[in-house]
Chains A and B, each alone.
Chain A
Amino acid sequence: MTLKEKTKILDQEALDRSLERIAHEIVEKAKTTENIAIVGIKNRGAYLGERLARKLEKVAGLKVPVGALDITLYRDDLTEVSEQPVVHATEIDFDIDEKKIILVDDVLYTGRTIRCALDALIDFGRPSQIQLAVLIDRGHRELPIRADYVGKNVPTSLKEVVEVRLEETDGKDEVVLCAKEEDAD
């Protein structure tokens, strides 16, 4: 299977603005900005989480703890996944009890990743609240999960793939909608 790029959904500037808007929304929605903490889902969500923390500092002067969650061990498709997942370390070096956790991921799709992340997170303690921030919501949920903050809603078909590329992992910031194409053989 190969991927053919169709349209650019976000460029670097738009991606940056989306994160800044989400930061504003987090502050606006919160009754109190105390106890907010960010946990990004590895890999790209972790980088987005770090960026969102910087945005919170920029727009509201908030310094929030940031962690990164690896959900491999919680996946419900371990035996079926085509590519063997590599287990990475989870890095949450603060106590999540009574914290208001903003869970961050790049793309919200079936909701299964978020289900895993909720399980994983709750193994670390008992947050007072968990909210979800995603850069892209592409629909097609298989579980009753929704995002509290969305960078951009993108209607997609199942034959499409949303590629989020970040400076930290891919050398540049952009979000591209691609089409899956079956190889000739």
Chain B
Amino acid sequence: MQTNEKKIIWKKKDLLGLEYLSKEEIELILYTAASFKEVTTRQIKKVPALRGKTVVNLFYEPSTRTRTSFELAAKRLSADVVNIEIEASSVKKGETLIDTGRNIEALKIDIIVVRHNASGAPNILARSVKSRVVNAGDGWHEHPTQALLDMFTLKSKLGRIEGLKVSIIGDIAHSRVARSNIWGLTKLGAQVTVCAPELLIPEGIEQMGVKVTTDIDEALRGADAINVLRMQFERDGALAFPSKLEYFKQYGITAERLAKCKKDIVVMHPGPINRGIEMSSEVADGKNSVILEQVTNGIAVRMAVLYLVAYAKDPAPSEASKVRKEGAG
């Protein structure tokens, strides 16, 4: 009944990125998330663990799915939730991030969940406030809870992370999801391959311990799982690749390509999907796809993260609150 009791204690005030976590800390989050997964299957999907605590969702970038997921996670822990979005906030009146953070903190809140278009913004915020800070995606830097829910989904599908071959396919250069996944997966002992058109592979990515290829067939061969990233043609994608159709032809995941893969290959996508660009509808809705499970698991993982940072034992100031220059080039 009782499986591997984890003795590790969570001491981090914030969750800023998977780069800053140890293998054991990542495993603790995944273990805790499994317990919260059970809560989300109950008829009454609510536990009193964060009763009396307040979570602020501070979003400088539009986001429906991540914000909703965090909001539900907090509510299912009985926390009170306030959403602050850029249009409605005083940012437009010239207030700095640090001032905004301190003002929010003066409202006697406990946790700030922040999304920002600048890499490292959550790190700056974490350094400036005593409240706990959870990164909900910053620039091209990290999106730790997305990577955690990807790993949680992988683990529940395949039973382990260690030794798995995972290929991340798509716009690696502009993807915080890719970066967080690479940090997390390599720490847990997976073999990671990244695959994209040449211009979408950031220079020096090999140093993160991944294999690099521009050949989709090579990325698919022998893979236990693929994580297909969203192509952001509305952003810089167009510069790196001539057309959507051309991308689909060369890199799109189709039933034909999947037929040559391992039979039980796990197909993930952080959403929202561009059907007919990153993958065909047949694949997105097919038996290998776990895309909707990822969404469900996201709530359990975010509950675990909120719970752990809220009750961090003697939290030390985050060593991660130093600003990194990464993602700029």
For B304, the closest partner residue in chain A by CB is: A87
Query: Chain B residues near A42 (CB, 8 Å)?
Result: 2
Fill in one digit per residue for A64-93: 1 if any B CB lies within 8 Å of its CB, else 0: 000010101110001100011011111100
User: Are the C-beta atoms of A84 and B1 separated by less than 8 Å?
Assistant: no
B-side interface residues, number (CB < 8 Å): 26
CB-contact partner of A84 in B34, B49, B311, under 8 A: B311
User: Are the C-beta atoms of A87 and B36 separated by less than 8 Å?
Assistant: yes
Min CB distance B5 to A, Å, is 7
Q: How far is the CA of A87 from the CA of B26 in the complex (A)?
A: 15
Q: How far is the CA of A83 from the CA of B47 in the complex (A)?
A: 20
- Which of B38-46, B161-169, B196-204, B263-271 binds A? B38-46
Q: How far is the CA of A146 from the CA of B304 in the complex (A)?
A: 34
For A50, the closest partner residue in chain B by CB is: B1
User: Are the C-beta atoms of A86 and B47 separated by less than 8 Å?
Assistant: no
Q: Contacts A84-B311, A87-B35, A89-B35 given: A124-B44 contact, CB under 8 Å?
A: yes
Q: How far is the CA of A125 from the CA of B1 in the complex (A)?
A: 23
Instruction: Check if A57 is an interface residue, CB within 8 A of chain B.
Output: no
Fill in one digit per residue for A27-68: 1 if any B CB lies within 8 Å of its CB, else 0: 000000000000000110011001000000000000000001
User: Are the C-beta atoms of B38 and A119 separated by less than 8 Å?
Assistant: no
Fill in one digit per residue for B29-62: 1 if any A CB lies within 8 Å of its CB, else 0: 0011011111100111011110000000000000
A-B contact count (CB 8 A): 58
Q: Contacts A73-B48, A74-B48, A84-B313 given: A90-B38 contact, CB under 8 Å?
A: yes
Query: Chain B residues near A91 (CB, 8 Å)?
Result: 1, 38
B:272-329 near A, CB below 8 Å: 304, 307, 311, 313
Q: How far is the CA of A169 from the CA of B1 in the complex (A)?
A: 11
Instruction: Check if A123 is an interface residue, CB within 8 A of chain B.
Output: yes
Query: Chain B residues near A89 (CB, 8 Å)?
Result: 34-35, 37-38
User: Are the C-beta atoms of B43 and A43 separated by less than 8 Å?
Assistant: no
Query: Chain B residues near A125 (CB, 8 Å)?
Result: 43
Query: Chain B residues near A86 (CB, 8 Å)?
Result: 5-6, 31-32
Query: Chain A residues near B77 (CB, 8 Å)?
Result: 73
CB-contact partner of A123 in B10, B46, B49, B304, under 8 A: B46
Query: Chain A residues near B35 (CB, 8 Å)?
Result: 70, 87-90
Instruction: Check if B9 is an interface residue, CB within 8 A of chain A.
Output: yes
Q: How far is the CA of A86 from the CA of B29 in the complex (A)?
A: 10
CB-contact partner of A73 in B2, B37, B47, B313, under 8 A: B47
Among A43, A74, A88, A90, the most chain B Cβ lie within 10 Å of the Cβ of A88
User: Are the C-beta atoms of A169 and B32 separated by less than 8 Å?
Assistant: no
For A43, the closest partner residue in chain B by CB is: B2
User: Are the C-beta atoms of B47 and A74 separated by less than 8 Å?
Assistant: yes
Fill in one digit per residue for B1-40: 1 if any A CB lies within 8 Å of its CB, else 0: 1100110011000000000000000000001101111110
User: Are the C-beta atoms of B311 and A78 separated by less than 8 Å?
Assistant: yes
Q: How far is the CA of A74 from the CA of B77 in the complex (A)?
A: 10
Min CB distance A94 to B, Å, is 13
Min CB distance B25 to A, Å, is 13
User: Are the C-beta atoms of B38 and A123 separated by less than 8 Å?
Assistant: no
User: Are the C-beta atoms of B47 and A123 separated by less than 8 Å?
Assistant: yes
A residues lining the B interface (CB < 8 Å):
42-43, 46-47, 50, 68, 70, 72-74, 78-79, 83-84, 86-91, 119-120, 123-125, 168-169
Given contacts A47-B1, A73-B48, A91-B38, 5 further A-B contacts (CB under 8 A): A43-B2, A46-B2, A72-B49, A83-B9, A84-B9
Can you list 8 A-B pairs, Cβ within 8 angstroms, ordered by A?
A: A73-B48, A87-B35, A88-B2, A89-B35, A89-B37, A90-B38, A119-B48, A124-B43
**Which 7 A-B residue pairings sit nearest by Cβ, starting from the closest?**
A73-B47, A73-B49, A87-B35, A89-B35, A123-B44, A89-B38, A84-B313
